[in-house]
Amino acid sequence: MTLPFDGGGPRPPAAGGLGGDPAPVSPPSSAAPPPAPGRGGRRGRAGLIVPGAAAGLVVLFALLGPLVVPGSPTAQVGMPFLAPSAAHPLGTDMIGRDVLARLAHGGLPVVALAAGSTALTTLVGFGVGALSGLSGGQMAELVVRVVDVVAVVPALLLLLVLATGFPGSNLAVLVAVALISAPFSIRVIRAATAQVAGTGFVEVSRARGEPRRRILRHDIAPNIVRPALAEIGLRFSAAVHLTATAGFLGLGGAAPAPNWGRMVDENSPGVALTVWPFLAPVLALLILSISVNVLADGLTALLADRR
């Protein structure tokens, strides 16, 4: 006798064969395989090779160029604005000096000033920003007000005032660039520190009576590495631009000492005759600033993937 099922028909057998055992369910064929562990990290590290190599080559050229490239950067070796030749691979500049020799000697002031001002900016940004972000209250409000006042001063005006007050001084340019950049670093580090300071583990450290220095070193610093790296890259790129601008305006080291920014200014009138005296320092500045910025962004993303 058959039991009624769905209108009286016989019950169909279970899909699995005899005994009513359920059939095994196979995963859908379209399911994607799990990603290989570490693939994103390897891709991120590979993406750092090009900007890292570009930045490293420019920095090495700036540091070792004076030792490798022969010739004096200030001696007149031919007619002005000569085309590139075997004797002068990049031609000559506005008064007949070898462009390659000046390019090799003109990178060190830019790289050294940019690195020094970035280090000073980072020191001030971490010190003031982290302390104010952790402390809060009236100290934080005072820091915010001072930073806002300094940040609204035009960068070019501050650079001109300090560099003109100390003519021929590269140190004045370094300090001016650091003062221009410091407010932005303080803002970023203060915001990142304030966000971490509101978390539970920092509150526990405070409740245990941990000194502020230990909290900053063990609780705050490891958790603001990513924004700090990105900020350092931005500040270095800005420092390259500002130090080159100072050289373009004739500030800092006195002529005829070469400087990539000064080379751009000196050789811009002769672009119609030969482009390399103008284009070579422009390319060096662009490659350095862009590659360092991309490298810092890539390191930040790599650290984010590891978390």
pTM: 0.80
Written as one letter, the residue type at 294 is V
Tokens of 183: 């407010």
pLDDT digits (tens, 9 = 90+) for 121-140: 999 999 999 999 998 888 88
Q: What is the pLDDT of residue 306?
A: 65
Residue 254: its pLDDT value, please? 77
pLDDT score for 42:
64
Q: Tokens at residue 26, please?
A: 């196979």
Q: What angle do CA 255, 111, 166 make, to 5 degrees?
A: 45
Average pLDDT (291-297) is 90
Residue 275 has pLDDT above 90, yes or no: yes
Band of residue 250 on the pLDDT scale cut at 50, 70, 90: confident
Kindly indicate the confidence band of residue 99, based on its pLDDT and cuts at 50, 70 and 90.
very high
* Residue 244 within any structural domain of the chain: yes
Mean pLDDT taken over the chain: 85
Rounded percentage of the chain residues whose pLDDT exceeds 90: 55
23 within some domain: no
- Under the banding of pLDDT at 50, 70 and 90, the label for residue 220 is very high
CA distance 59 to 236: 13
Q: Looking at residue 161, which CATH number applies to its domain? A: 1.10.3720.10
Is 258 in contact with 106 (CB distance < 8 Å)? yes
Q: What is the CA radius of gyration of the chain?
A: 30
Instruction: Determine, yes or no, domain membership for 120.
Output: yes
What was the pLDDT predicted at 158?
87
**Residue 200 falls inside a structural domain:** yes
Report if residue 102 sits inside a domain.
Answer: yes
Name the band, by pLDDT with cuts 50, 70 and 90, for residue 5.
Answer: very low
CA distances to 156, 230, 239, 281 from 288, in Å: 21, 16, 11, 11
More confident residue, 106 or 209: 106
Number of domains into which the chain is organized = 1
In this prediction, residue 207 carries a pLDDT of: 86
Does 69 map to a domain? no
Asked whether the predicted pLDDT for residue 268 surpasses 70, the reply is: yes
Return the residue matching tokens 């660039």: 177
pLDDT surpasses 60 at 189: yes
Question: What domain range is 138 assigned to?
Answer: 52-58+89-306
Does residue 105 register a pLDDT over 90? yes
Task: Say whether pLDDT at 21 is over 80.
Answer: no
Q: How far is CA 71 from CA 61, 67, 152, in A?
A: 15, 10, 45
Tell me the angle at which helices 225-248 and 170-197 cross, rounded to the nearest 10 degrees.
160
**Domain presence at residue 7:** no
Highest mean pLDDT among 6-20, 90-104, 207-221: 90-104
For residues 30 and 22, what is the distance between their CA atoms, to the nearest angstrom? 23
- Burial code of 216-243, b = ≥16 C-beta within 10 A, e = fewer? beebbeebbebbbbbbbbbbbbbbbbbb
Q: What is the mean predicted confidence (pLDDT) over 25-40?
A: 46
If we measure between CA atoms, which residue out of 101, 27, 36, 46 comes closest to residue 276? 101
pLDDT band at residue 27 under the 50/70/90 scheme: very low
Residue 247 lies in a domain: yes
Q: What is the pLDDT of residues 198-217, one digit of tens each?
A: 888 888 888 888 888 899 98
Tokens read off for 119? 């280090």
